Structures are given as C-alpha cells and as structure tokens.
Amino acid sequence: MLDDLRWDADLIRRYDLAGPRYTSYPTAVQLHGEVGSFDLLHALRESRRALRPLSLYVHVPFCANICYYCACNKVITKDRARAQPYLQRLEQEIQLIACHLDPKQRVEQLHFGGGTPTFLSHVELRQLMACLRQHFNLLDDDSGDYGIEIDPREADWSTMGLLRELGFNRLSLGVQDLDPLVQRAVNRLQSLEQTRTLVEAARTLQFRSVNLDLIYGLPKQTPEGFARTVDEVIRLQPDRLSVFNYAHLPERFMPQRRIDSHDLPAPAAKLEMLQATIEQLTAAGYRYIGMDHFALPDDELAIAQEEGTLQRNFQGYTTHGHCDLIGLGVSAVSQIGDLYCQNSSDLNTYKETLSSAQLATQRGLLCNQDDRLRRAVIQQLICHFELQFEQIERQFTVDFRGYFNAQWPALQAMHHDGLIHLDSKGITVLPAGRLLVRPVCMVFDAYLAQHDRQRFSRVI
C-alpha cells in the first residue's frame, strides 16, 4: 500500500503548483528578527530540564568549485586555509551551546552538510569531531544515525576510512546526472567511477546506509539520457535515492544565472523524466517514501513509514523527529521544542558575532497552538499519506470539521478530482495524489496567502 503510486498526467497538470517543501511548519520564510539568542537559551534550558535526546546539524559552507544549479548557502574558494578561522568560531559556538545542555542528553543523530564537508582536511575533521565529542554526548557504539554529505570529487578511500573511524555510518553522495554534456552545462564534471569507488568503499567499511542524489530538469537533459543515469545508479544499489526537481530561480540564486534557460528541458520532457524514473525505481524494488525520496523496503525510512513512526524536520524525512535539533554553523537552523531559530547566513556576521562570545542567532519563531495543530496535520499527511481526524481532535481538543471549515471546499474539490479520499473520519491521499501531497498540505497552511509563490519550487 505505502509504495502504491499512480501516474495521472491530468492531475499533475492541474496541481503542479509552487509551494513549500514542509521540512517545517511554519516554514522558514516565517522566521523573523524578533526572536534571538535569549529565546534560544531559554529553549536549551527547557531541553535540558526534559533531558530530551539531541540531533546535531553542522554546516560546513566551503566548496572548491561552483555548481551552477546550487541553491545552498556556500562559499566558493580554492583557499583551504579559510576553513581554520571558521572552525575556531564553530568550536566556540559548540561550547556556548553545550554548556546550557545536560551531558546525559544523548546525540542520537548527527549530520554534516554544506557546502562540501570534506573540503576540510583530515586533521580538521578530526579536530571538529573531537570538539563535538568533548562537549556533547555522542554515542560510541555505532547505534546513532551519524551522516555526512559527500562530493565524490572531494573524497577517496582514505577519506572514507577516516569518516568511518570518526563514527559516521551514513553517507549521502551528490550525483545529479552522469551525462558529460549535462555535467559541463552545470560545471560539475564527475565520473561514474568516482561515485562507484565511494559506494564500494562504504560497503566494505560497513557504512549502514548510502543515499544518492539525482536532479531532473537540468540543462541539456533528455528523458533518454536521464533514464541511462537512473539505470547506472540502480546498479550501484544505494539504500536510498533522492530525485529532486531542479527549480530554476536565477533571480534568487546567482550561480543559476550562468545556466542558459534555452538549454532547460521543456515541462513535458521533465514530466517524462520523472515518470520514467518512478517506473525504473519501482521495478528495481524501491518504495516511494514521498517528497522526491525513495528507499529499499528494508531501509529504516521505509520501515518507519510502514510502522507509522516516520517524521519530518529541517533535515527532511527522519526517524528522529522526537529529538531537539540543534543547528551549528553559518545559516544553520535549530528546532528545539516549539522554537525554530536560524544563525546568520552571512559568514562574516556569523564569525564576528561569535568572536564577541555571542550566539549568532539572527531570526526565529515560537510556535503557537494553531501552528502546532497545523504542523501535526501536515506532518501526518506528508509522512503517511493519511490523517485520522479523531487523533487530531483528541490531541488538540478541537472539532476538526469546524476548525477547518474554511478549508473544506478545497478538500472536497481534491476529493472530487481523485487526489484524496475525504470522509467524516479522515483524509487518505490516493495513489494518484501521492506525488502531489504538497498541494494537499498547502490547504492547511495559514501563512501561504502572505507569500509570493515564486519563492518556492513547483511540485513537479
């Protein structure tokens, strides 16, 4: 049932809207400058009092080369020496945060993202992990989910050995596309052999999980060429796959201005790529988790979805949504209890603030009761494709039908169109609607009308 997915071109044409990805609700665009470091310290004290487990996210912003499609917060430089002053401030932030937490709070999840985390030298990676271990209760028995994002051009066997030794047991490798024509168009030349070498190293070194990222809709892509990439990737047998839609927003992301829009595939070709990819992955035994993610049936995400325990946070789908998420580094986001907060996205501001022993929190949001209710609804739909009204009514002491009376006509229209099944007991996202779960969630978003939809990518 959970991997049941039906392609309906007519529904996709009608509901392929621009909207949030709901790694949080309210979404990051709601964060504002009235929330600062004082609110973060208060939330940390609450976390300590409740002894809640932790999830750490560490942002390493540096990349040696620019990928034209990239929308991440990064610093492009060939000068590896730039990492050291950043690490000094990052270690200062680690100390400032950790002193407000209890050593008994276990770090169940750790993730290094970027940028390119392996931009750091082996010495610097050791130094950073030693600092984290000194100040946080990292697990030593390999039972935690400790992951890192890897650019296969910036790692080799010795890097993989080091990462395993440092405690990492999950990898996410950026592939995007294996066609050299596409790679040249986005300035990311990367051979299949480079990727295969790291996947084989991960298997040999007993990493628990390997995820590969692909992007469809890049310049020079064709349905035939992308299908060849997907076939090659399937042969590598990653545990998980992320297949993202490229959102061309050159007005927001400067590197994308180097992409010739005439080289982008037509909308019909993008749809063809996605449909073929779903068919290829399904035939190879992968399950559709939701929101661009696929996993093998024995993967933890697939099992959690089957058991009804899958969650979603700023790191995407997770089995650790019960943890307080602490973001470390420039632009990093934290979610601690009902507080969301984000560090400054400007590298110099981040470093200067910490140099004066102040936390770099720049904006945030404290969820109210309405936010919590809508968050529960959206999370249930986006993780499990179904919602029982009684569960929400019990949890929040509301009458669901009455509370969402204004949204009912939109839900009825989706029911009529075959996107969802709606009755007096709940909502089920139908197989033809699962690729379009974002528009279903958007019905419950109280803030959406306030925003320019062009800030967001389209669903497909």
pLDDT at 397 over 60: yes
Q: What is the pLDDT of residue 1?
A: 38
Regarding whether 161 and 108 lie in a shared domain, the answer is yes
Distance CA 38, CA 50 (A): 19
Regarding whether 35 and 5 lie in a shared domain, the answer is no
Q: What one-character DSSP code corresponds to residue 66? A: -
- Is 161 annotated as a binding-site member? no
Residue 334 lies in a domain: no
pLDDT at 452 over 70: no
- Is 6 annotated as a binding-site member? no
Domain holding 448: CATH number? 1.10.10.920
- Tokens matching residue 36: 């600062």
How many other β-carbons are positioned within 10 Å of the β-carbon of residue 392?
21
Q: What is the mean pLDDT of residues 198-225?
A: 97
Helix ranges (H only) for 29-150 are 37-50, 83-98, 122-135
Q: pTM surpassing 0.85? A: yes
- Is 327 annotated as a binding-site member? no
Residue 307 lies in a domain: yes
| Residue-wise DSSP of 232-294 | HHHHH--SEEEEEEP---TTT-GGGGGS-GGGSPPHHHHHHHHHHHHHHHHHTT-EEEETTEE
- Which residues touch 128 (CB under 8 Å, ≥6 apart)? 58, 87, 90, 91, 120
- Is 213 annotated as a binding-site member? yes
Domain containing 413: what range?
1-26+368-460
Look at the chain and report how many structural domains it folds into.
2
Regarding whether 254 and 181 lie in a shared domain, the answer is yes
pLDDT at 17 over 90: no
Mean pLDDT for the chain overall: 94
pLDDT at 454 over 80: no
Binned at pLDDT 50, 70 and 90, residue 71 comes out as confident
Is 331:342 a contact under the CB 8 Å cutoff? yes
Regarding whether 133 and 51 lie in a shared domain, the answer is yes
Residue 359 lies in a domain: no
Residue 209 lies in a domain: yes
Residue 92 lies in a domain: yes
pLDDT at 3 over 60: no
> Tens of pLDDT along 368-387?
999 999 999 999 999 999 99
Regarding whether 160 and 53 lie in a shared domain, the answer is yes
- Is 185 annotated as a binding-site member? no
> Tens of pLDDT along 106-144?
999 999 999 999 999 999 999 999 999 999 999 999 999
Regarding whether 395 and 297 lie in a shared domain, the answer is no
Is 274:216 a contact under the CB 8 Å cutoff? yes
pLDDT at 356 over 90: yes
- Is 144 annotated as a binding-site member? no
Q: Which of 296, 327, 358 is the last residue of a domain?
A: 327
Is 344:19 a contact under the CB 8 Å cutoff? no
DSSP H or E segment with residue 442: helix 437-442
Regarding whether 15 and 45 lie in a shared domain, the answer is no
- Is 57 annotated as a binding-site member? yes
Domain holding 162: CATH number? 3.80.30.20
- Is 403 annotated as a binding-site member? no
Regarding whether 377 and 317 lie in a shared domain, the answer is no
Regarding whether 148 and 18 lie in a shared domain, the answer is no
pLDDT at 458 over 90: no
Distance CA 262, CA 415 (A): 38
pLDDT at 62 over 50: yes
Distance CA 322, CA 312 (A): 10
Q: Which of 327, 345, 376 is the last residue of a domain?
A: 327
> Tens of pLDDT along 153-184?
999 999 999 999 999 999 999 999 999 999 99
Q: Which of 327, 352, 377 is the last residue of a domain?
A: 327
Q: Are strands 75-76 and 145-150 parallel, antiparallel or unpaired?
A: unpaired
- Is 63 annotated as a binding-site member? yes
Residue 343 lies in a domain: no
How many other β-carbons are positioned within 10 Å of the β-carbon of residue 212?
23
- Is 302 annotated as a binding-site member? no
Regarding whether 62 and 10 lie in a shared domain, the answer is no
- Is 69 annotated as a binding-site member? yes
- Is 28 annotated as a binding-site member? no
Q: CA 192, 193, 199, 200 torsion: positive or negative?
A: positive
